Structure 1
Amino acid sequence: MNNRIVVYSLLTFVMLSWGLNVTALKVLVVDMAPITMNAFRVFVAGVGVLLMLWLTKSIRKLTLKEYGFLAFISLFNVVGHHLFLSVGLSNTTATNGGLILGLVPILTALVSIPILKTRLSFIKTVGIIVAFFGVSFVVLVGSTGTFSVSIGDAQVFISGFTQAISFALIKKASSKIDARLMTGWMMVIGSVIMFILSFIFEPEGLSTMATTDVKLWSVFFASALIATAFGHMTYNYAIQHIGPSESAVFINLNPLFALLGGVVFLGEGIYIEQGIGFILVVIGVLCGSGAVEHWRKQKKEVQLRPPA
């Protein structure tokens, strides 16, 4: 029980760091070229993860085939996710970005159907519909009453979708490679690919990194080491100890912290559409991610268990 409380506490901290990381990225992309900045940020995170694994003697040499597979997953987990997220946040608010990313568990459930051959139950289907309906309220903010989606909202959605694909691929490969080791190498490989792409899309990107603003670099390293490196390692640790369904429940805190971060640190307003959207996304994720079914199954097992 005590170990479970520790895991719950760590997950809450991770969701806080992930939610505030949306705000941090919004701050960074104002002064730094999005793709170039993220290439450096993710590289620092990846090196941090591998260094931590080396210090704890949890690292091993990978085969050429394993490196190739990780490079493929990194196209979704790192390049697609972080590239569209950083560019998207330069075109929308941190609040909208955080709420849209709350769909990741739902998107993971959807892409798992063709990749992992999973099936959707009635409760999961209802949850998916409710969650997407919730996001429709989010994208209405700032409009004139007609449905509209900003380019930034669309880019953040693509970011979440590519991350969902990577989660399904990681789950498929985690039986052969330690999830933490996968995380570190995917970050390093993906960041190198992003750095190469930055020369194409942001020819002057490197010049934007030549800043002496101490506060900006503090945000940069906090984002890289706390939110990205420590956050992803801890989330993988939680999945191993309490399972993916129970861990996914905590993702509901991510959009909440992102919303609060946008209000407190960026002065963004909270609109009624965002509040409605947040509630619907939370309900949808709880149902669509399988968390509700997981709880019902556990409760049934406890009721059927013979008394000691």
Structure 2
Amino acid sequence: MKGIFQHKWSVIGIAVFCSILWGSAFPVLKVSYEELQMAQDDIAAKIVFAGGRFLLAGLMVLLFLMFSTWKRIKVTRRQFFVLIILGIVQTSLQYFFFYNGLANVTGMQGAILSSAGTFFTVLLAHFYYRSDRMNWRKSVGLILGFVGIAVANWGQEFQISFQWDGEGFMILSGLTAAIATIMAKELATGIHPFAITGWQLTIGGFIMLVIGFPFLKEGDIIYTHFGLGLFIYSALLSALAFALWYSLLKYNNAGELSMYKFIVPVSGAILSAIFIPGERLNNFILVAIALVAIGIIIVNYHKKA
């Protein structure tokens, strides 16, 4: 198993696969909102939907770990405390902003705005790691990336649209993801990647359900067979993508892997245009995708020695 996560071409293939899975989340969630008839401003329904998804995803990973290498599911008291913190930050908080923000932007905008997390990670690493300081290359990449995010919100009249509970929440989701990335790298040492994934998704999802259920009213979520299928798919993609990505991080340089994250906004925008009724790629979105993708590649590019 270790060799798969270290061989050059399998690493590239897995990184690309994970990025496409994450990109598919944008149209899946937007279509789910419509299919399950969740009101745009219904925060409780989205918290419950997200909580159920991540609880199921986390349990999938833990069950797999239990039947394959069950000893790795065990963690110490200190490690479990770390996993609770990760569950709160990386699952509960990040996806509170993500689910509610995505309801108020298009799927294509959401895919591009979510890339802010990559650029925030570079900024935070500058202040946290002495060996990962900013330089002219990273500065250029950050500028291109944030300009691309701004272009994604331009209308035909060249006016930038911004809603605090839309674009604002998506950017806060990216910032939370960046904080969680550094936390996971620093705090979760000694824990198996699948255990990190399973526990933090399970804990975070459970917390969201506890918070959301008391405010959920009858009729807030109308279940259908198709909607249930979308829900299960979204749980599977989370379990698979996070578990594989953490495994890659264990054996590979985080900066080199992050370069493949440029595929997330690209695949997310293209899949949104294909599957979400009324969404079409336009010049603003294409320029935004290009700027964000180039920005991500530049900030994560490392010359071979």
Same fold (TM over 0.5): yes
Contact conserved, 2:193 with 2:250, CA < 8 A, in 1?
no
Task: Report the 3-state secondary structure (helix = DSSP H, G, I; strand = E; otherwise coil) of the residue aligned with 2:69.
Answer: coil
Q: Distance in 2 between matches of 1:115 and 1:186?
A: 23
How far, CA to CA, are the matches of 2:73 and 2:247 in structure 1? 18
* Partner of residue 253 from structure 2, selected from 243, 253, 263: 243
| Pairwise CA RMSD | 2.0
Q: Distance in 1 between matches of 2:97 and 2:272?
A: 19
User: Given the alignment of the two structures, is residue 261 of structure 1 paired with residue 275 of structure 2, yes or no?
Assistant: no
2:32 aligned to which of 28, 31, 36: 28
Letter of the aligned partner of 1:44 in structure 2?
L
Q: In the alignment, which of 264, 270, 273 is matched to residue 281 of structure 2?
A: 270
Q: 2:50 aligns with which of 38, 44, 61?
A: 38
**Residue 145 of structure 1, CA deviation:** 2.2
Residue 132 of structure 1 and its aligned partner are, at CA, apart by 0.6
Residue 68 (structure 2) aligns with: 56
Percent identity over the alignment is 23
- Bigger Cα displacement from structure 2, 55-64 vs 248-257: 55-64
Whether the 8 Å CA contact 2:83–2:188 is kept in 1: the answer is no
Q: What is the CA deviation profile of residues 87-114 of structure 1, one whole-angstrom value per residue up to 9, with x for unaligned ones? A: 1111111100001112222111112234
> Which of the residues 105, 111, 118 maps onto 2:124?
111
Aligned to 2:17: 13
Q: In the alignment, which residue of structure 1 is the partner of 2:42?
A: none
Gaps of 5+ in 2: 39-44
Report what 1:78 is aligned to.
91
2:238 aligned residue:
228
Structure 1 window deviating more from structure 2 (152-161 vs 233-242): it is 233-242
Deviations 1:145-185 (A, max 9, x none): 22231331111111111111100100112323223211111
**Residues 1-308 of structure 1 mapped to structure 2, 5 A cutoff:** 3-30=7-34, 31=36, 32=38, 33-57=45-69, 59-117=72-130, 118-140=132-154, 142=155, 144-150=157-163, 151-199=165-213, 202-204=215-217, 207-209=219-221, 211=223, 213-225=224-236, 227-267=237-277, 268-288=279-299, 291-292=300-301, 294=302, 296=303, 298=304, 301=305
Cα pair 2:113 2:170 within 8 Å, conserved: yes
Question: How far off its partner does 1:209 sit?
Answer: 4.5
Name the CA distance, whole Å, in 1 between partners of 2:220 and 2:66: 32
Q: Which amino acid aligns with 1:214?
A: H
1:193 CA drift (Å): 1.3
1: CA distance between counterparts of 2:135 and 2:68?
Answer: 41
Q: 1:175 to 1:63 in 2, by over 3 A?
A: closer
Q: List runs of 5+ in structure 1 lacking aligned partners.
A: 302-308
Moved over 6 A (4+): none
Task: Answer with 50-59 or 273-282: which moved more.
Answer: 50-59
Task: Number of aligned residue pairs: give it.
Answer: 289
**Structure 1 counterpart of 2:32, one-letter code:** L
Deviation at 1:239, TM superposition (A): 2.2
Q: Offset at 1:210?
A: 5.5
The 3-state SS of whatever aligns with 1:78 is helix
Q: Which residue of structure 2 lines up, in the alignment, with residue 306 of structure 1? A: none
Measure the CA separation in 1 of the matches of 2:129 and 2:28.
34
